Amino acid sequence: MDLRLFIALELPESFLKELEQDLAGLKRAHQEFRWTSRENQHLTLAFLGTVPEAGVPDILSALEKTIELWQKGQSYSSGIPVSAQGIYTFPPRKPASVLAVGLGDGKDGVTSLAAALEQELLAI
């Protein structure tokens, strides 16, 4: 069986609460949109697309290796501190189907983690 997969980070509660407050006016103005529930909001590190179920163990191994190696080179003991900066829509040059929030604080740490993960995933 094929699975549609992505790898994401869970966002801190404080970030989600601030984001909810920041987007409150936009949500009131656009009630016709289908807004993602708070429980499903996340930070995507890698979109894998359709993957055969048999490939999942290799993906998990790559993820574990990435985390282990990345943590050795970082100073984050309890996560990457993040803040929101900017709102974006995609896909580009088409009617928007996704609203995304950019990162301010934490962007370098998240980018570093995503790049390390990409290298491990490319190796499988």
Q: What is the pLDDT of residues 50-65, one digit of tens each?
A: 999 999 999 999 999 9
Distance from C-alpha of 30 to C-alpha of 74, rounded to nearest angstrom: 40
Give me the number of domains the chain comprises.
Answer: 1
Distance from C-alpha of 69 to C-alpha of 63, rounded to nearest angstrom: 10
Q: Model pTM greater than 0.75?
A: yes
Domain containing residue 26: 2-77+107-122
Q: Report yes or no on 27 lying in a domain.
A: yes
Q: Report yes or no on 58 lying in a domain.
A: yes
Q: What is the pLDDT of residues 12-58, one digit of tens each?
A: 899 999 999 999 999 999 999 999 999 999 999 999 999 999 999 99
The DSSP H or E segment spanning 83 is: none
Q: Report yes or no on 96 lying in a domain.
A: no
